[in-house]
Amino acid sequence: MSETNKKIDDLLKAERRKKIKIVLGVTAVFVLLLCFTLAMEGGANM
């Protein structure tokens, strides 16, 4: 019983880590796009 619970817990932790990595990746891409857009607009304004 406890062995099964441990395996389920490990799986949940792995899933959580995957989700955190995906969220961080998406956030990083979004920030890069935002910076790029601001840089382009700044260059156009100058």
Give residue 44's pLDDT.
Answer: 76
Q: Which whole number is the average pLDDT over 5-22?
A: 96
Claim: this prediction has a pTM higher than 0.75: no
CA distance 30 to 34: 6
Give residue 41's pLDDT.
Answer: 87
Terminal-to-terminal C-alpha distance of the chain: 67
CA distance 6 to 16: 15
Give residue 46's pLDDT.
Answer: 61
Cite the DSSP H helix spans in 1-46.
Answer: 2-45
Give residue 1's pLDDT.
Answer: 64
From the list 44, 21, 24, the residue with the least C-alpha distance to 32 is: 24
pLDDT for 16-42, tens place per residue?
999 999 999 999 999 999 999 999 988
